[in-house]
Amino acid sequence: MALGEFELIDRFFRDRGATRTDVVLGIGDDGALLRPPSGADLVAVSDTLVEGVHFPAGSPAESIGHRSLAVNLSDIAAMGATPRWALLSLTLPRVEEAWLAGFARGFGALARAHGVALVGGDTTRGPMTIGVQVLGAVPAGDGLRRSGGRPGDALFVTGTPGDAAAGLALIMAADGSAAGLRSDAPADALEALRRRFLFPTPRIAEGESLRGLASACIDISDGLVGDLGKLAAASACAAVLDVDALPRSAALAAVTPEAALRSMLDGGDDYELLLAVPPAQVARVASMPGLTRIGELRDASTAARVTLRRRAADGTLSETPATGAGFDHFAG
Amino acid sequence: MALGEFELIDRFFRDRGATRTDVVLGIGDDGALLRPPSGADLVAVSDTLVEGVHFPAGSPAESIGHRSLAVNLSDIAAMGATPRWALLSLTLPRVEEAWLAGFARGFGALARAHGVALVGGDTTRGPMTIGVQVLGAVPAGDGLRRSGGRPGDALFVTGTPGDAAAGLALIMAADGSAAGLRSDAPADALEALRRRFLFPTPRIAEGESLRGLASACIDISDGLVGDLGKLAAASACAAVLDVDALPRSAALAAVTPEAALRSMLDGGDDYELLLAVPPAQVARVASMPGLTRIGELRDASTAARVTLRRRAADGTLSETPATGAGFDHFAG
């Protein structure tokens, strides 16, 4: 690299994150020294973004910096934990100072917003690959898992799933001509969806407030139906989604009215939380802002892991497995 | 990928490392839940290996698995810590089961040897990049740093630096014809050097036993002179190396007698520990097996950060800065 590894770290990343008193020794030695809180479990997460796989080549550096941390913070949120420290492994084909400055700005702003100190990592020359690890803490025994759901638990979701996938489709279709996307929609709706992909919001506060209330939790990175399937499987349950209850953003409805449901059910990159809540806690969770009740867990003896349920015009409920056929059946 | 990410993790990496009672929840959720020891500081390290940069393309998968963990354990050792948990971020262009099995074998054997549990990570499709993070623990306040050395402290090194660089040169020169390498040396010497590159030994036990004794410590990944320069700079000292005292392995002497000193001073990838020891602790450290006294720290007011010192045939000591010219002066 044109700049030495250590100059690069110093120049762009030192003091970029939050300042924390539990960092005994940060960037610059063989390792970081961190003082864990007593009575807490640590939560360790790791996610890697590869150019052209997890984000389009040429994405704004600030977005890449933000997303590389956000996807990890979302995993921390899904465990009900509070983030503390991050490590960054940055592999880059070349040193471009403007790119690094943008990356550091995006990463640093999100880190400071959540009180996360950047305590170490490494830089390497190679194909663009951004590995981030975050360590958080949760009161011992209180970590949320995917596996605690039981039949009869209600399902809730944060935010409005589907927005990020539509935003990515808008970004990929540079001329706005992608099938099902209305490029003549209001500019603020288009921009809102793009930003939902470029700058996702990790639901840290929501995850913290769900400790002791949710029986199971997962973050939606691969699509609502797919990740619900994982939560249900880990909980040895089946799940039913009330399609009419899914929270649809006004922007999504404006930009892609025909494909909104498909995006909500199957679109990735949302980084919302999906959770199961026992009956005794439902009223309390339902009163929290930003959460929508969207279905329930039930006995795993039903044929499909995830079932879509909809009320017809005549008031009758119909159910279809959330597989290819069932999915298409409800599309639109 | 032909195999799904989760099948892949399950098949090759679940239960590969050690089993630890402080792992509350391991691979398979959004994050791992880990119970830290009380009264300890955590040590967090991260190192990424890129094919063609950190190891030759086509290296044995078992070696890549071993090295990706070993370079991180070496950083843990340099902090005087005991490793506990590892995360693995594996980016691969394609799934080759034989390769994955070899990688997991190399990674797993070293993890189990050091009691390290593999608690999480992710797998991604892309250019071969292996990111590993290790978390360890050290009694609170006892972590070794690069910055604690003082003028008058003795310098020690573990093992025999220079072997790995010679081993890599042998591997790169497939026909054994590299300048200064005697491919007609005894086969066990050639093999010993190759193995020192392919399967480096992290000095965990040595690092642990140096807690409270060493004033500063660093691992030698970039060459003895270069890393000594970093330790000296962090300690606001200069350093002098006694060239005649450097521990030279029999294998290195047999394979590259002409370039042995260059390899010892400048060769990378050794992952030995280099440490400073206050006068009051020198006798105790000198009695430890596997450590060699090689010089001392002195006041930073001397011109060079690192000076090479040698005794001539007539008994006089000569000193030369460990820069290009000084280096060449002593080569051979």
Both A126 and A25 in one domain: the answer is: yes
Among candidate residues A108, A139, A170, the one where a domain is terminated:
A139
Of A5, A20, A30, which to mutate for an interface test with B (greatest number of B Cβ within 10 Å)? A30
Question: Which residues of chain B lie closer than 8 angstroms to A122, CB-CB?
Answer: 46-48
Residue, of A325 and B205, whose pLDDT is higher: B205
Question: pTM of the prediction?
Answer: 0.93
Name the amino acid, one letter, at A226. G
Distance CA A258, CA A182 (A): 10
Residues spanned by the domain of A74: 5-139
Both B121 and B171 in one domain: the answer is: no
Both B298 and B152 in one domain: the answer is: yes
User: Is A222 domain-assigned?
Assistant: yes
Distance CA A73, CA A273 (A): 12
Closest C-alpha among B65, B88, B77 to residue B198: B65
CA A36, A42, A43, A46 dihedral sign is positive
Name the amino acid, one letter, at B256. T
**Separation in Å, CA of B275 to nearest CA in chain A:** 13
Distance CA A291, CA A273 (A): 9
Q: Is A125–B53 a contact, with Cβ atoms under 8 angstroms apart?
A: yes
User: Is B327 domain-assigned?
Assistant: no
Both B196 and B95 in one domain: the answer is: no
B210 Cβ under 8 Å from any chain A Cβ: no
Q: What is the pLDDT of residue A9?
A: 63
Q: Is A124–B34 a contact, with Cβ atoms under 8 angstroms apart?
A: no
Average the pLDDT over B112-136 and give the result.
93
Closest C-alpha among A251, A222, A221, A227 to residue A239: A227
Both B37 and B114 in one domain: the answer is: yes
- The region of weakest confidence among A2-16, A125-139, B166-180 is A2-16
Q: Is B125–A53 a contact, with Cβ atoms under 8 angstroms apart?
A: yes
Distance CA A171, CA A179 (A): 13
User: Is B331 domain-assigned?
Assistant: no
User: Is B156 domain-assigned?
Assistant: yes
Both A180 and A310 in one domain: the answer is: yes
Q: Is B44–A31 a contact, with Cβ atoms under 8 angstroms apart?
A: yes
Residue A3: CA count within 13 A, CB half-sphere:
16
Both A122 and A66 in one domain: the answer is: yes
Q: What is the pLDDT of residue B332?
A: 36
Average the pLDDT over A210-218 and give the result.
98
Q: What is the pLDDT of residue B157?
A: 98
Q: What is the pLDDT of residue A59?
A: 93
Both A135 and A150 in one domain: the answer is: no
Q: What is the pLDDT of residue B177?
A: 63
Question: Which residues of chain B lie closer than 8 angstroms to A121, CB-CB?
Answer: 46
Report which secondary-structure segment, H or E, holds B22: none
For residue A50, give the nearest of B81, B91, B119 by CB distance: B91
Question: Which residues of chain A lie closer than 8 angstroms to B78, CB-CB?
Answer: 30-31
Q: Which is it for strands B40-50 and B129-139: parallel, antiparallel or unpaired?
A: antiparallel
Both B271 and B290 in one domain: the answer is: yes
Residue B190 has pLDDT above 50, yes or no: yes
Residue B285 has pLDDT above 70, yes or no: yes
Among candidate residues B101, B117, B139, the one where a domain is terminated:
B139
User: Is A127 domain-assigned?
Assistant: yes
Q: For residues B37 and B138, is the Cβ–Cβ distance under 8 A?
A: no
User: Is A82 domain-assigned?
Assistant: yes
Q: What is the pLDDT of residue A5?
A: 59
- CATH number for position A189: 3.90.650.10
Complex prediction ipTM: 0.92
Average the pLDDT over B47-65 and give the result.
92
Q: What is the pLDDT of residue A303?
A: 76
CB contacts under 8 A, B 86-145 vs A, are 87-89, 91, 119-122, 124-127, 129, 131, 133, 135-136, 138, 140-141, 143, 145
Residue B255 has pLDDT above 70, yes or no: yes
In sequence order, what DSSP letters do the residues of A237-252 get, joined into one string? EEEEEEGGGS---HHH
Instruction: Spell out the residues 6+ positions from residue A296 whose beta carbon is closer than 8 angstroms to its own.
Output: A152, A153, A154, A155, A239, A240
Among candidate residues B99, B120, B139, the one where a domain is terminated:
B139
Average the pLDDT over B179-186 and give the result.
83
Percent of chain B with pLDDT over 90: 76
Q: What is the pLDDT of residue A96?
A: 87
Q: Is A34–B44 a contact, with Cβ atoms under 8 angstroms apart?
A: yes
**Separation in Å, CA of B98 to nearest CA in chain A:** 24
Domain count across chain A? 2
Q: What is the pLDDT of residue B6?
A: 54
Average the pLDDT over A132-146 and give the result.
97
Both A93 and A121 in one domain: the answer is: yes
User: Is A328 domain-assigned?
Assistant: no
Q: For residues B195 and B269, is the Cβ–Cβ distance under 8 A?
A: no
Both B112 and B174 in one domain: the answer is: no
Both B121 and B238 in one domain: the answer is: no
Residue B329 has pLDDT above 50, yes or no: no
Q: Listing from the earlier edge strand, what are the strands of the sheet with A291-299?
A: A216-220, A272-277, A154-158, A291-299, A237-242, A306-311, A317-321
* Averaged pLDDT of chain B: 91
Measured from the Cβ of residue A227, the count of other Cβ atoms closer than 10 Å reads: 24
Residue with tokens 């995850």: A207
Q: For residues B149 and B221, is the Cβ–Cβ distance under 8 A?
A: no
- What is the per-residue pLDDT across A155-182, written as a single tens digit (0 to 9) for each? 999 999 999 999 999 998 865 566 678 8
- CATH number for position A118: 3.30.1330.10
Q: What is the pLDDT of residue A95?
A: 84
User: Is B329 domain-assigned?
Assistant: no
> Is the backbone of residue A290 left (phi > 0), alpha (psi -120 to 50) or beta?
left
Distance CA A235, CA A297 (A): 9
Average the pLDDT over A86-108 and give the result.
92
Distance CA B310, CA B324 (A): 17
- What is the per-residue pLDDT across B15-38, written as a single tens digit (0 to 9) for each? 789 999 999 999 989 999 999 999
A233 Cβ under 8 Å from any chain B Cβ: no
